[in-house]
Amino acid sequence: MEHLFRYFLIGYARMCDYMDPISPQSLGTLLADLRARRPLVHHITNAVTMNDCANVTLAIGAAPVMAEAMEEIGEMVGLADALVLNIGTLSRQQILSMTEAGHCANRKGIPVILDPVGAGATSLRTASALMLLKELKISVLKGNAGEIGVLAGADAQVRGVDSWGVSGDIVTIAKSLAKERRIVVAVSGVVDVITDGARTVYVSNGHEMLGRLSGTGCMVASLTGAFSAVSKDHMAAAAGAFTAFGIAGEQAASAGNGPYAFRTALVDRIAALSPEDIAGQAQIRTG
């Protein structure tokens, strides 16, 4: 009995280690850990933003790999520290590849990030996202308000890959979905909402220029994979990714140029981002 009690205390202490309060300082430390470990993030993502996702993964300090051939998925997941699934340019073969990769990641015990791009716009996207949520152990579900609302069963509208609104309070919807699925739900917006159902973090960093560039949501999913690879607290990882991306967006916008110059500056700012930047510039609150 004494041994069992000792194991319980050790397990509880380890849980507390990665459930520390989320703060600007802790997110800065998480970036330092990421840069020190340089995790490999396996992507099965969309053709439109694949290069951008690879570049921001490199810029934040991780290593990207894009591979979806069934013949190599098992080997590639075996090398990876996180898996990012993005349904932006979906096909039947890609769905099969995502499912196989997700099962491999689950067996290995590495985090899986799902970006349900355009869920709600077509029945294929909605059904595929719901299937992946059912079949796989997803660590972080990252999407806009419309996508998250649709997957939660709320009255939401998605046109193309953009949210056109959701009926009801998105915070309540996200919390309920997180509890039901036992996952972290990260909702992008003017203020990003990240919740595991019990804890909620609001991230106010960002700039309107991020909305004038395609693929910024996909880039955040890649950063979420990189941060999740080095933290067992996937809610803190998502908060770190959104905060880092938002701060970089603010810094890039100060150049005052057009969208494509902003894109270049954004990657540069992500690469130059320091733990001190996050600790000093993070605009987060918990609730």
**What pLDDT digit, counting tens, does each position of 153-167 carry?**
875 555 444 444 566
Distance (Å, whole) CA 2 – CA 51? 54
The pLDDT value recorded for residue 19 is: 66
Per DSSP, 20 falls in state P
The pLDDT confidence band at residue 224, using thresholds 50, 70 and 90, is very high
Burial bucket for residue 11 (CB in 10 Å: 0-12, 13-18, 19+): exposed
Structural domain includes residue 12: no
Per-residue pLDDT for 257 more than 80?
no
List the domain range (segments joined by +) for residue 110: 21-286
Backbone angles phi, psi at 165, to 5 degrees: 115, 160
The pLDDT confidence band at residue 214, using thresholds 50, 70 and 90, is confident
User: For residue 238, what are the contacts with CB-CB under 8 A and spacing of at least 6?
Assistant: 140, 142, 184, 186, 194, 224, 227, 228
Structural domain includes residue 9: no
Q: What is the mean pLDDT of residues 14-27?
A: 73
β-strand pairing of 156-159 with 63-66:
unpaired
The pLDDT value recorded for residue 120 is: 84
21, amino acid identity? P
Q: What is the mean pLDDT of residues 171-199?
A: 95
Distance (Å, whole) CA 133 – CA 112? 10
Per-residue pLDDT for 10 more than 80?
no
Structural domain includes residue 16: no
Burial bucket for residue 204 (CB in 10 Å: 0-12, 13-18, 19+): middle
118 versus 60: the higher-pLDDT residue is 60
Task: Kindly report the CATH number assigned to the domain that includes residue 248.
Answer: 3.40.1190.20
pLDDT in tens, 235-251: 999 999 999 999 999 99
Q: What is the mean pLDDT of residues 122-129?
A: 93
Give the CA distances from residue 183 to residues 29, 58, 137, in Å, rounded to whole numbers and listed in that order: 23, 26, 8
Could you please report the per-residue DSSP string of 122-149?
BHHHHHHHHHHHHHS--SEEEEEHHHHH
102 versus 255: the higher-pLDDT residue is 102
167 versus 2: the higher-pLDDT residue is 167
Distance (Å, whole) CA 204 – CA 222? 19
The pLDDT value recorded for residue 158 is: 55
Asked whether the whole model's pTM tops 0.95, one would answer: no
Structural domain includes residue 3: no
Q: Smallest Cα–Cα separation from 150: which of 140, 161, 137, 139?
A: 161
CB of 248 closer than 8 Å to CB of 213:
no
The pLDDT value recorded for residue 156 is: 57
Structural domain includes residue 6: no
The overall average pLDDT reported for the chain is 89
Q: Would you state the structure tokens that stand for residue 166, as one six-digit string?
A: 């959701």
Structural domain includes residue 10: no
pLDDT in tens, 94-111: 999 999 999 999 999 999
Structural domain includes residue 95: yes
Per DSSP, 182 falls in state T
220 versus 168: the higher-pLDDT residue is 220
Q: Would you state the structure tokens that stand for residue 8, as one six-digit string?
A: 């319980």
Structural domain includes residue 192: yes
Q: Would you state the structure tokens that stand for residue 248, as one six-digit string?
A: 């970089």
Query: Which of 149-171 are b and which e, b meaning 16 or more Cβ less than 10 Å from the residue's Cβ?
Result: bbbbebebbbeebebeebeeebe
Q: How many domains are there within the chain?
A: 1
The pLDDT value recorded for residue 165 is: 59
Tokens 């972080």 belong to which residue? 140
